[in-house]
Amino acid sequence: MKKRNWLTEKSKKQNQLGQLAATWMLIQTLFLATPGLANQPKPTLSYSQLLEKLDRGEIQKIEVDPTSELARVTLKNQGKNELPLNVVLFNQNPELINKIRSSEVDFEVKPTLDNASALGLLTNLVLIGILLGGLVMIIRKSAQASSQAFNFGKSRARFQMAAKTGVKFDDVAGVEEAKEELQEVVTFLKEPERFTTLGAKIPRGVLLVGPPGTGKTLLAKAISGEAEVPFFSISGSEFVEMFVGVGASRVRDLFKKAKENAPCLVFIDEIDAVGRQRGAGIGGGNDEREQTLNQLLTEMDGFEGNTGIIIIAATNRPDVLDKALLRPGRFDRQVIVDYPDCQGRLGILEVHSQNKILDAEVSLEAIARRTPGFTGADLANLLNEAAIFTARRRKEAITNLEINDAIDRVIAGMEGVPLLDSKAKRLIAYHEVGHAIVGSLMEGHDPVEKVTLIPRGQARGLTWFTPDEEQGLITRSQLLARIAGLLGGRAAEDVVFGHEEVTTGAGNDLERVTSIARQMVTKYGMSELGQLALEEDDNQVFLGNGLMNRSSDYSQEIAAKIDVTVREIAEKSYKIAKNIIRDNRSLIDDLVDLLIEKETIEGEEFRIIVNRNKEEKIEVNLQDKLVKV
């Protein structure tokens, strides 16, 4: 069978070659024969007529072309402007030659040039050129593929002999503590003798840890710009490939180049892509990634020292990094790049507002106070959105209106179409005013920033609270006030419309209430169960905590008590919220009418109305007491 198949394939190949050869011969024939046929003149006189005219003596001159087998005949009575007549001849014409000689007619033989051979040679040369060009392209591609195979294990780090990032420490705001820590690294690179003379060792690595958007990559660029030393930058994901050994080879090549240019700075962004814990995950880990990590550990602090090379790495997930990577001698320092405080946010706004045209009424301090929890990236996005709103509205400067709209856009999403005045709109208004009233009248709750009925994102209405100051620690009373404020919307629906008319609008509120209450019981020890941490943070499966190994740290009896305590906290807070709604029903009705009319009530206006109502209540109570006396 195999022999037959081989013979069949061989015959197929021969047939294909034969077809190609036949095709080429046909093309050659067309190229060569067509010009000859096109140039061949049409006969205007037959051979017999030529003999008759010779006999009658009417011919003056005959020119014979043996190449094209034609005779051009000039008659005696033919005009000067008329062309000779053409006659097709035979291969042998003895009778014609004898008659021409006997009739004493001018006779001449003029063969034309034959270009067929030249065209055939040119066509063959073109074919040979095409074949040679294709062969050269194939050789070049194979050479490129082989060179890529040799370069596959080389590092893909971007290298700058003199760092030209264009970023200095003055361009980085909001992380003053981190800048002070990293200033020493710059001094190490610029003037290492100041430390080596005292016996101090240059740190091997610095790990920047912080949430996304806080400026870790920007800090690394600033270190490079300040130090003015050779700078290598690479992402952790660029080490790992599907081929075995490529990641470790790239690590070796990176440190080889760094040693050749020491002292230098190597920046590895998102190091958690290659530095995760080894041996983690279900069914084992990624061997290729682990080998890459092993090579990185060896290069940082192994048998051979790396003098003058400082590694700067950034991650927002330090909990997944391998412990060997974090020990002294590798990453000697961990610099926390956290959310900026109010002064930090003010500095960030000053940096990003340098190329923006702001109205004189815009206060950066007010914006900084209104944006707790914003990162540097969030603040940059806020000013950019405000600039976009300003350009869209064809204004010359950014005003407070654009700033407010930008804050709303960043926090809650894109603005939707306002609802029409209907039962649904009035119900949403009571829900949002319920949040605002309960939050304003509960001690320890954050002040109201804005109440609006304008839809944003998935929300049909929104109530925002903004803290007056930075909150590091939160008390039990503050947590209970937050729970009551979250339940204010559902309480307003229940009191005003009845239990049968409550809506699904409180779904997200109830999720947050359950989360806060459960943390109070299981993590913070703020319940009758005692000062115990009954639950830890959820550990990821890939950290070696298998799905089958996870178990609770308490008994079923304690679990039942936890559920009961969480429910009691929520029920008590809900009763408090309903009482506040009942006691301020007239105020709530007035606020709902105002909110439906204006669709948005700012926090300052809301607080003025609430305080005025408090003063009126106090006066009424005093008058009642005086009347009783």
Crossing angle for the helix pair 476-486 and 423-441, nearest 10 degrees? 170
Q: What is the DSSP code (8-state) at residue 65?
A: E
**615 part of the active site:** no
Q: How far apart are CA 125 and CA 285, in angstroms?
A: 61
Say how many C-beta atoms besides its own lie within 10 A of residue 21's C-beta.
Answer: 10
Q: How far apart are CA 471 and CA 469, in angstroms?
A: 6
Kindly give the pairing relationship between strand 309-315 and strand 264-269.
parallel
Q: How far apart are CA 572 and CA 550, in angstroms?
A: 33
Residue 502 buriedness (CB in 10 A; 0-12 / 13-18 / 19+): middle
Crossing angle for the helix pair 2-39 and 116-151, nearest 10 degrees? 140
Kindly give the pairing relationship between strand 333-336 and strand 205-209.
parallel
Instruction: Please pick, among 288, 290, 432, 493, the residue that the annotation labels catalytic.
Output: 432
- Per-position DSSP letters for 408-462, written without gaps between them: HHHHH-SB-PPPPSSHHHHHHHHHHHHHHHHHHHSTTPPPEEEEE-S-BTTBSSE
Which residues are 265's β-sheet partners? 231, 310
Q: How far apart are CA 248 and CA 230, in angstroms?
A: 22
Q: How far apart are CA 536 and CA 137, in angstroms?
A: 63
Is residue 223 within 8 A of residue 265, CB to CB? The reply is: yes
Distances (CA, A) of 378 to 177, 352, 368, 375, 384: 20, 11, 12, 5, 10
**Greatest extent of the chain over all pairs of C-alpha atoms, in Å:** 167
Is residue 32 within 8 A of residue 121, CB to CB? The reply is: no
Q: Which sequence positions are flagged as catalytic?
A: 432
